[in-house]
Amino acid sequence: MTVEQMKQFMAHFESSCSDLELSGADMLKFFQCIAEQATETPSIAPPSKPSKWLSILVVDDDERVREFHCKILQSLDCSVSLASNGYEALGMLCKSYDAILMDIQMPGMDGIETAMKIRQHGFDPSTTPIIAITANPLEEVRGKCQASLFNECMQKPMDISQLQKTLEALTTR
C-alpha cells in the first residue's frame, strides 16, 4: 500500500467511525476487528479468480453456523466473507457486498443494531440487501425486523433453494 493509499484509507476510516457513532468501548472493539482483518490479509494479492455469482457477507457469532452458511453459498457459486460479530462486520464494509446474511441474536452488537448502523452509514436496501437469519420462529422475528433495515427474513437452517430464490430476487447481478 502506498503512502497516498494509506492516507485515503485513514480519511475514509475516520469518516466511517464518526458516521457510525460508536462509543469508546465499541470503537475499541471496532479497531480490534479491523486489526485482526489486517493481520489475516496477505500483503500480496493472489492471482485473480474467475468471477463468482455474488459476493456475500455472513455475520453470525456461531462458527459452525458461519461455516455451514459458507458451504451453502459456495455451492451456489458465491464468494463468501465471514464476520463473527457486528463490530467485525462494520469493519469489513470497506469492501462491497451484493448481500449480507445477518444473524439477529449476537452478543455485544446484535443483528438489528448492526443492520441499523449499516443503513445509517449509507448502504441502501436496494443496493445492499440484508437478510435476517434466525433460529427463532419467523413470525416472532419479523415484528422486530423493520422493513427499512432488512429486505428479507429467513429461518435457520436455511433451505438452499429458498436462499437462492431470495438472492436472485434481491440482487441485480
Judgement on whether residues 62 and 143 belong to the same structural domain of the protein: yes
Q: For the chain, which ranges sit under pLDDT 70?
A: 1-51, 137-138, 140-144, 146-147, 172-173
CATH number for position 155: 3.40.50.2300
Q: What is the number of alpha carbons within 13 Å of residue 152 lying toward its C-beta?
A: 20
Supply the pTM of this predicted model: 0.71
Which structural domain range is residue 28 located in? 3-40
Q: Is the dihedral of CA 164, 169, 170, 173 positive or negative?
A: positive
Is residue 48, in this structure, part of any structural domain at all? no
Is residue 104, in this structure, part of any structural domain at all? yes
Tell me, what's the pLDDT at 53?
Answer: 85
Strands (E), 26-170: 55-59, 79-83, 99-103, 130-134, 152-155
User: Max CA-CA distance within the chain?
Assistant: 51
Q: At what angle do helices 160-170 and 63-75 cross, to 10 degrees?
A: 70
Judgement on whether residues 130 and 161 belong to the same structural domain of the protein: yes
Judgement on whether residues 23 and 81 belong to the same structural domain of the protein: no
Judgement on whether residues 66 and 35 belong to the same structural domain of the protein: no
- pLDDT, tens digit, for every residue of 54-97? 999 999 999 999 999 999 999 999 999 999 999 999 999 988 89
Tell me, what's the pLDDT at 42?
Answer: 47
Q: Which residues contact 123 (CB under 8 A, 6 or more apart)?
A: 93
Tell me, what's the pLDDT at 156?
Answer: 84
Judgement on whether residues 144 and 79 belong to the same structural domain of the protein: yes
Q: Is the dihedral of CA 31, 35, 41, 43 positive or negative?
A: positive
Is residue 22, in this structure, part of any structural domain at all? yes
Our count of domains for the chain comes to 2
Is residue 82, in this structure, part of any structural domain at all? yes
Is residue 20, in this structure, part of any structural domain at all? yes
Is residue 45, in this structure, part of any structural domain at all? no
Judgement on whether residues 30 and 106 belong to the same structural domain of the protein: no
Judgement on whether residues 72 and 23 belong to the same structural domain of the protein: no
Is residue 150, in this structure, part of any structural domain at all? yes
Is residue 46, in this structure, part of any structural domain at all? no
